[in-house]
Structure 1
Amino acid sequence: MHAIHIRTLIRRVAIVTFGASASLANIAAHADDCAVVASGLRAPIGSVLTEEGDLLVSETGTLNVPNSGRISIVSPDGTRRTLLDGLPQGTNAAGGDASGPNSLTLRGRTVYVAIGQGDTVILGPMMGTWLPNPDVSSPIFSAILAIHLSSAAERQTKGFQLTEQQQMRLAGGETVTLSNGGGDRISIEVVVDFPDYESDPLPDLPANVRNSNPFGVLAGENNLFVTNGGLNRLVKVDLASGTYATLASFDRIQNLAGAAGPPSVEPVPTGISQVHGELLVSLFSGAPFLPGVSRIKTVDRTSGDQSDFITGLRTAIGVLPLRNGSDIDYLVLENNFAPVPGFPPTGAAIKRFETPTSTPTKVNQCTLDRPTSMSLDQSSGTIYVTELLRGTVVKVPFD
Structure 2
Amino acid sequence: MNFKSPLLGSLVAAFLLTGCEDHRIPAVQTIQVTPFASGLAGPIGLEKDAGGHIWVAEAGSGQNDGRISMLTPDGKAHPVITGFDSEVIMGGELNGLNHILFADGVLYILGAHSKLYKANVVGFKPGDTPMLAKDLPVEDMQQFILDYNFAQDTQDTHLYNMTVGPNGDLYFTDAGANALIRRTKAGVWSVFAVIPGITNPTPVGPPFVESVPTGIVFDGQKFLVSTLLGFPFPANASIIYQVDQAGAVSVYQGGFTSLVDINLTTDPGALVVQHGVFGAMGFAPNTGQIRRVANNGSSVAVDGLNLPTDLVQMDAHTYYVSGLDGNVQKVTY
The bucket for the TM-score relative to the shorter chain is 0.7 to 0.9
Give 2:183's match in structure 1, choosing from 237, 258, 280: 237
Q: What is the CA-CA distance between 1:338 and the residue it aligns to? A: 4.7
What is the TM-score of this pair, normalised by structure 2? 0.83
Which amino acid letter does the alignment assign opposite residue 159 of structure 1? T
* Corresponding residue number in structure 1 for 2:156: 211
C-alpha distance 155-342 of structure 1, shift in aligned 2 (>3 A):
closer
Secondary structure of the corresponding residue to residue 195 of structure 1: helix
C-alpha distance 269-238 of structure 1, shift in aligned 2 (>3 A):
same
Q: What is the CA-CA distance between 1:60 and the residue it aligns to? A: 0.4
Which amino acid letter does the alignment assign opposite residue 350 of structure 1? I
Q: Is residue 267 of structure 1 aligned with residue 248 of structure 2?
A: no
Q: What is the CA-CA distance between 1:307 and the residue it aligns to? A: 1.0
Check conservation: 1:271, 1:282, Cα contact below 8 A: yes
* Corresponding residue number in structure 1 for 2:42: 43
**What per-residue deviation string (whole Å, max 9, x for no partner) do you get for residues 120-142 of structure 1?**
xxxxxxxxxxxxxxxxxxxxx32
Which amino acid letter does the alignment assign opposite residue 111 of structure 1? L
C-alpha distance 344-377 of structure 1, shift in aligned 2 (>3 A):
closer
Check conservation: 2:258, 2:275, Cα contact below 8 A: yes
Secondary structure of the corresponding residue to residue 3 of structure 2: helix
C-alpha distance 158-247 of structure 1, shift in aligned 2 (>3 A):
same
* Corresponding residue number in structure 1 for 2:246: 303
C-alpha distance 370-343 of structure 1, shift in aligned 2 (>3 A):
closer
Check conservation: 2:171, 2:183, Cα contact below 8 A: yes
* Corresponding residue number in structure 2 for 1:378: 315
C-alpha distance 209-310 of structure 1, shift in aligned 2 (>3 A):
closer
Partners of 1:29 and 1:55 in 2: how far apart? 19
* Corresponding residue number in structure 2 for 1:281: 225
* Corresponding residue number in structure 1 for 2:299: 361
* Corresponding residue number in structure 2 for 1:74: 71
What is the TM-score of this pair, normalised by structure 1? 0.70
Q: What is the CA-CA distance between 1:345 and the residue it aligns to? A: 8.9
Q: What is the CA-CA distance between 1:156 and the residue it aligns to? A: 5.4
Which amino acid letter does the alignment assign opposite residue 11 of structure 2? H
Check conservation: 1:41, 1:391, Cα contact below 8 A: yes
C-alpha distance 49-37 of structure 1, shift in aligned 2 (>3 A):
same
Check conservation: 1:142, 1:196, Cα contact below 8 A: no
Q: Pairwise CA RMSD of aligned residues?
A: 2.8
Q: What is the CA-CA distance between 1:53 and the residue it aligns to? A: 2.0
Partners of 1:224 and 1:289 in 2: how far apart? 28
* Corresponding residue number in structure 2 for 1:100: 96
Check conservation: 1:192, 1:243, Cα contact below 8 A: no
Q: Is residue 195 of structure 1 aligned with residue 176 of structure 2?
A: no
Q: Is residue 322 of structure 1 aligned with residue 322 of structure 2?
A: no
Check conservation: 2:277, 2:283, Cα contact below 8 A: no
**What per-residue deviation string (whole Å, max 9, x for no partner) do you get for residues 29-62 of structure 1?**
7243232111100111112111122222111012
Larger gyration radius, structure 1 or structure 2: 1
Check conservation: 2:44, 2:56, Cα contact below 8 A: yes
Secondary structure of the corresponding residue to residue 30 of structure 1: coil
Secondary structure of the corresponding residue to residue 45 of structure 1: strand
Partners of 1:263 and 1:346 in 2: how far apart? 29
Alignment of 1:164-179 (within 5 A): 167=134, 176=135
C-alpha distance 338-196 of structure 1, shift in aligned 2 (>3 A):
farther
